[in-house]
Structure formats: structure tokens, C-alpha cells
Structure 1
Amino acid sequence: MDSKEYIVYKCLNCNRSFILLASEVSHSENESKYITCPYHGTHRKIIVTGIYDSVKECMRERSYKRDKGKMKQIK
């Protein structure tokens, strides 16, 4: 089965990227809810930039650094 697990979105207003589980996205769509930017809840203009099987594939596209226990995107 070719179901992908993770979907990468990009907010067109604040230009930030975020990753969501595909199962959560489909659950929200079934309940007629829309997806917004997690950084600013009022931003609805988002686009899909990638669909991946694992988080490692998502992180391979960009550079990340651990800062005080949190992962930060540096590039």
C-alpha cells in the first residue's frame, strides 16, 4: 500500500513550514474542518510542499539543529 504518513505544508502568509500526520488531515477533512497555520491561527493560505513516508525523509530536505532539547530548522 502506498499511503504516505506525513504531509509538509507551507504558510503563504508567514512563510513557515510545518508537518502534519496524514491521518489527522483526513480526519479533519471528514469533519469539514480546515487547516490553518499553527504559528498564527488566522492564516488559512497554506500549500502542500511534500508528502513523505517518514519524518527522516522530511528532515533530509532541510537542515535541523537541536537547541535545548527542541529541533530548530536552520536552513
Structure 2
Amino acid sequence: MLGMYTSYKCKTCKLEFVLLSEDVAKMAKDRFLACPYCNSKRVTIDKATDSVRECMQESSYRRRNGVIKQIR
């Protein structure tokens, strides 16, 4: 069974991002997946879970002006 959230990592800029698995499955038919930071197509799947906190445990994140940002 697929988790609700899927964590991805870009091979170019080494940043991680999380997407809803259901939305990616719908989009995969017509389009490709790209990194939201550098627009690279070199993206790998890390893991699929039901909790966003599990996806984001390995990296450090901070809230700035109401937006969660990843810190390198």
C-alpha cells in the first residue's frame, strides 16, 4: 500500500521535498516530476509514509514568516 506522502531528493541540488502520493500518481501519466528548487529532472524517491514528520526527520527545517524552509 502506498503511503499518503512521498519524500523525494534532488540529485543536483541535494534538497528534499515532499509531495502527496495521490497527486503524483495522477500527474505521472502526462507529465514528468522535477525539483521545485532547481527544475532538475534528476529526482529520486526516498520513502513513502503516512506522516509528514516521518518524511522530514532526517533534515532540519525552520519556520520563516509562516513558511517551512529546509536548512542545509
| TM-score (ref. length: structure 2) | 0.82
Name the structure 1 match of 2:41.
44
Distance between the aligned counterparts of 2:8 and 2:57, measured in 1? 16
CA positional deviation for 1:72 = 2.3
Name the structure 2 match of 1:62.
59
What CA RMSD, in Å, does the superposition of the two structures yield over aligned residues? 1.6
What secondary structure does 2:56 align onto?
Answer: helix
Aligned pairs (5 A) from 1:4-23: 4-23=3-22
Spell out, residue by residue over 1:32-74, the C-alpha distance to the aligned partner (whole angstroms, 9 max, x if none).
3110111122x11110111111112223333322222121223
| TM-score (ref. length: structure 1) | 0.79
Equivalent AA in structure 2 for residue 37 of structure 1: C
Tell me which protein shows more strand as a share of its residues: 2
Count of matched residue pairs: 72
**5+ long unaligned stretches in structure 1:** none
